[in-house]
């Protein structure tokens, strides 16, 4: 009897391992948009393969046309879970800040590539 239980347990484990590790891969590439189902009822699906657009306001400290970046002191950005801070952003379009001057209040939209690596996709002066 003990041998039969051990055999069934090992067989069940083998089935789980084989079906979970069948070596097949998804046909979607790594950059496509995918939705990972939430693991708990009521939780939103986690979006992968896309970058959220965030909006903030702040004061333009400097523009570096040669590098294609701006330095901005901005308020908290709830959508990114960021506190207010001063940081540099890459510009998706280096010409987007050509008419802006340090000290101006700006509204800008940005995406986060990873961590604190963010790119401004739109920027304009606030009157």
pLDDT tens for 40-98 read: 344 333 344 457 899 999 999 999 999 999 999 999 999 999 999 999 999 999 999 99
Mapping DSSP to helix (H, G, I), strand (E, B) and coil, where does residue 53 land? coil
Q: Are 57 and 28 within 8 A, CB to CB? A: no
Residue among 62, 29, 65, 66 at smallest CA distance from 48: 29
DSSP secondary structure code for residue 7 in this structure: H
Residue 70 is predicted with a pLDDT of 98
Distance between CA atoms of residues 14 and 116, nearest Å: 43
Q: Are 60 and 66 within 8 A, CB to CB? A: no
Residue 51 is predicted with a pLDDT of 73
Q: What predicted TM-score, i.e. pTM, was given to this entire model?
A: 0.61
Q: Are 50 and 32 within 8 A, CB to CB? A: no
């Amino acid at each position: 009897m003990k041998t039969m239980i051990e055999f069934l347990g090992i067989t069940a484990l083998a089935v789980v391992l084989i079906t979970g590790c069948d070596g097949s891969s998804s046909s979607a590439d790594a950059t496509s948009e995918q939705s990972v189902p939430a693991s708990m009822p009521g939780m939103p699906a986690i979006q992968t393969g896309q970058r959220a657009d965030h909006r903030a306001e702040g004061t333009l400290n400097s523009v570096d046309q040669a590098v294609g970046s701006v330095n901005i002191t901005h308020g908290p950005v709830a959508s990114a879970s960021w506190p207010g801070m001063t940081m540099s952003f890459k510009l998706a379009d280096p010409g987007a800040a050509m008419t802006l001057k340090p000290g101006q209040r700006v509204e800008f939209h940005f995406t986060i590539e990873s961590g604190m690596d963010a790119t401004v996709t739109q920027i304009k002066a606030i009157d």
